[in-house]
Amino acid sequence: MHRQIGRPLAWRIRRTLTVGIAVLTALLLQSNSHLYGQSSDIIGEGDPMPSIAHPPGSDDAELLTRSGHEFNGPNFVRGNKSFSKRNRLNHDIDPTRSLPSPSVADSQMSIQAATKVDQVVEGFGFNDNAAEIGFFLTPPDPHGAVGKNRVIAIGNAIIECRTREGDLKWRDALRDFFAPLTPTTLIFDPKIVYDQYEDRFVAVALVMAGTATVSPSNISRILVAVSKDGNPRTPTSADWYYHAINAKTLIGTLERWADYPGLAVDEEAIYINANMFSFSTGSFGGVRLWIIDKGALGGFYAGGPAGVTAHNPYATAGIATTTQPAHVFGDGGGGPTTGTYLVSYSGLSDGVDEYVQIVRVDNPLGATSFAQQFYWSLAQGMSLGVAAREARIAVNYLLHGEPIDWAVPVLYARNADATLCTTPTTGTRVPSMSVRASARRSTIAHGVRIGVWDMDSVFPSLEKTLETMTRAQSTFGFELVDLSVPLGVWDLDSKKGTPYLWAELLASRLERMPMELGVELLVCVTRHWLRDNEVRNLYGWWPSDRRPPIIIFSIAGFEELAPEGAETDRAISNAMVTGLAGYYGEFASHRGSSRDCPMWYNEKRNFKHLVSQQSFDTSCKKKLRLKVGQKFAALEALLKAFR
C-alpha cells in the first residue's frame, strides 16, 4: 500500500505550444525572471500518504462522455527504451539509435546549467510541523512558487510567505489557511503556482474521509485559494478568495476520491486534475480534470462565484494514468481556442519504446456556454439550425479575441428546420448556472449565502422577496439562481398517475451545485408534488445530517397561493425558516404544541398556517438556541420580515 510519487517532469510552453521536449529530471523553468516547477509521477514509486494509504492499479475505470468539451489527442512522444528515465529525452536526438546513459556528473552539470540559483533561503522544516499543527507529518510534499515580489512555499501541513530576499512575512498551518472552507479532516497534497497573467498565487489541497462503497459519509474535496494580488499580506480571507470543489465521483459502481492533484493555469482558466481511487477498495478508477474559469471580472478572481466544469480527458481515447497539466506561458496563452496540454508518462511502453502521452485541451470555457444556449433555444421553439447558430454565437462571445467559426461545435441534422418544442407563451431566461451579480453584491456582508432556485418559474417577484429577507437580518444572504432540472429525479405514482419529484434523488443529483455556485446551501422550490423514500405529498424536505446541502419545498396543493403578493412573500419566508431551522437544527417538524410554530407538521396543507404570522413555540426555541446559536436571531427576524 503506497502512494504514487514519481520523478519531476518539466515543460517549456511557448505561444505555439509546440510539444517535443520532455525533461525527465528535476528542472526548473524560468520565464520573465520567475521560476516555476511542474511534476509528474511514475506508478510504482512512492512513499506513504499522510494518514491515508491506497494501492495503485485498476480494473474498473469508467469512460465518460465529453459533454461537448474537446480533448485532442492523445499524442505520444516516443523515447528510446534503453535511455534512462533519470535523464533528458531531446527532440533533436534520433530515437532509432541507442543512447548511452550519461554519468551522474553529466546529469548534475545539466541541472546546474538549466537553473540559476542567486540565493538560498532556508524555509520551514520537518520540526516546524509540530509547532504549527501539534504533531509531525510525513511525507512533507514540498511545493513552491515565485512571484514578482513574494515567494510562497507550501507543504504538509504548512504554508509560508517570504520576500524574494528571504524575509519571512507570515506562516500558518494549512488547516487555518483553508479555514474559510471548513475542512473537517486532514489536509494533504498541497500545491501552489504563480499566475503570471493576473499576478496572483493559486493554491490547492485535498481532504478525504470515508471507507464505504457508496455513502453520503464519503468526502472528497479540492480546496482552492487564489490571492487577491501578487503580495498577499496575510494567510486569511482578507487577502485570499476561496472555493471548494466536491471531487467525490461515482465511477462504475464505486465512489472515488481525488488524490495527487496536478495544478496549472493559462490566461483564462485554472486546471486541476487528480487520480481517482475507490473509498472502499483503494482501486484506481481513472483521472478527472476540473477547469475553473478565472472570472477576473465578477467571477472567482473577483470574489464572485467560481465556474467549475469536470471532465474525463481519457473518455474516448488514450490511457488513463497519472497526469499533469502544463503551466502555460506567453502573451495570449495558447490562443483563443487552446487551453493547456495534459502530460503523462507512468512508464507507458509497447515493449520496445517508451512514450510520453499528451492531450490537448481545446475551448476550455466554451462547451458549457454552447450547451446552455442550445437547449434553451430549443425550448423557446427555435429550429435545430437556429438553436445551433445561437449557441455558436454564445460560444464566440465567450472566446477571447476574434470569433472564429471552426473552433466551435457543429450540429449535423437531417432537417435543420425541425423544431422539438412549441414557442412558450411567456419568455424565460437562459439558465446561467451561476448566481446573479446583483444578488451576490447584496449578500457580501452576510456570513451564510443561500441559493434559491424557483424550479418552475412560479414566483415572478421572488428576487425582490429574497432581497427583503436578506435586509431583514445580517446572517443569511439569499441569492436567486438559475439551474436546469437533472434527469432521473422523478417517480410516477402507479395508482394516480401523478408525477412526483423524488427528494433524495434530486438532492443527490444537485449535491455538487452549492460548491459550484459559491453558496453554503441550495433551496429548491417546485410546483410539483414531492415525495421522499418513505412519504408522499411532502411540502418540505431537508437531509437529517446536513448532507447533501439541499432543501426542497413543494407548493403543490396550495391552489390559493398567488404568484406574488403579501401572503406569498410571508409564505416563502415562513417556509424558508422551517427549512433552515430543520436543516441547521437537525430535527424534524412536530405534530403537537402550537400550530403557529414554523416546525408544526402541516399534514393537511392548511393554507392559513402557511401564510400566517408564525413564531417558534417554547420547546423549539430552546432546542434551536442550543443547536444553531446566533442563527436563531436571524430566523426570528425572517418570521417578522413581512408583517
Rounded mean pLDDT, 365-383: 67
Question: pLDDT band at 597, cuts 50/70/90?
Answer: very high
What is the model's pLDDT at position 281? 93
Lowest mean pLDDT across 78-82, 126-130, 300-304, 472-476: 78-82
Question: pLDDT band at 5, cuts 50/70/90?
Answer: very low
Per-residue pLDDT reduced to its tens digit, 396-427:
544 433 344 434 456 777 787 888 788 877 65
What is the model's pLDDT at position 217? 93
Per-residue pLDDT reduced to its tens digit, 161-192:
999 999 999 999 999 999 999 998 889 999 99
Between residues 180 and 11, the one the model is more confident about: 180
Q: Cell triple for residue 343?
A: 502530460
What is the model's pLDDT at position 396? 52
Most confident range, picked from 28-37, 437-446, 634-643:
634-643
Asked whether the bond before 74 is cis by omega within 30 degrees of 0, the reply is: yes
Buried b (16+ CB within 10 A) or exposed e, 289-320: bbbbbbbeeebbbebbbbbbbbbbbbbeebeb
What is the model's pLDDT at position 278? 95
What is the model's pLDDT at position 409? 58
Question: pLDDT band at 49, cuts 50/70/90?
Answer: very low
Residue whose entry in the numeric block shows the C-alpha cell 466544469: 309
Between residues 551 and 483, the one the model is more confident about: 551
Nearest to 207 by CA among 344, 337, 346, 49: 49
CA–CA separation, 366 and 388 (whole Å): 14
What is the model's pLDDT at position 171? 94
Most confident range, picked from 358-362, 385-389, 445-449, 561-565:
561-565
Q: Is 414 exposed, middle or buried (0-12, 13-18, 19+ CB in 10 A)?
A: exposed
Tally DSSP H helices, then E strands, for the chain.
Answer: 13, 28
What is the model's pLDDT at position 639? 96
pLDDT at 109 over 60: no
What is the model's pLDDT at position 287? 94
Q: Where in the chain is the domain with CATH 3.40.390.10?
A: 437-639
Rounded mean pLDDT, 251-266: 94
What is the model's pLDDT at position 198? 93
Asked whether the bond before 364 is cis by omega within 30 degrees of 0, the reply is: no
Nearest to 138 by CA among 292, 315, 3: 3
CATH topology of domain 437-639: Collagenase (Catalytic Domain) (3.40.390)
What is the model's pLDDT at position 405? 42
In the chain, % of residues over pLDDT 90: 42
Per-residue pLDDT reduced to its tens digit, 69-108:
445 544 444 443 222 222 222 223 233 333 333 344 443 4
Asked whether the bond before 418 is cis by omega within 30 degrees of 0, the reply is: no
Question: pLDDT band at 371, cuts 50/70/90?
Answer: low
Q: Cell triple for residue 28?
A: 526548473
pLDDT at 39 over 60: no
Nearest to 583 by CA among 549, 553, 617: 549
On average, the pLDDT of the chain sits at 76
DSSP 257-296: EEEEEEEEE-SSEEEEEEEEEETTT--EEEEEEEEEE--T
Lowest mean pLDDT across 58-67, 238-247, 577-586: 58-67
Rounded mean pLDDT, 391-400: 52
> Is 363 in contact with 336 (CB distance < 8 Å)?
no
Most confident range, picked from 67-81, 416-430, 492-506, 572-586:
572-586
Lowest mean pLDDT across 262-276, 472-486, 517-531, 553-567: 472-486
Asked whether the bond before 180 is cis by omega within 30 degrees of 0, the reply is: no
Per-residue pLDDT reduced to its tens digit, 198-246:
999 999 999 999 999 999 999 999 999 999 999 999 999 999 999 999 9
Strand-pair partners of 615: none
Helices (H), 77-127: 104-114
Between residues 506 and 438, the one the model is more confident about: 506
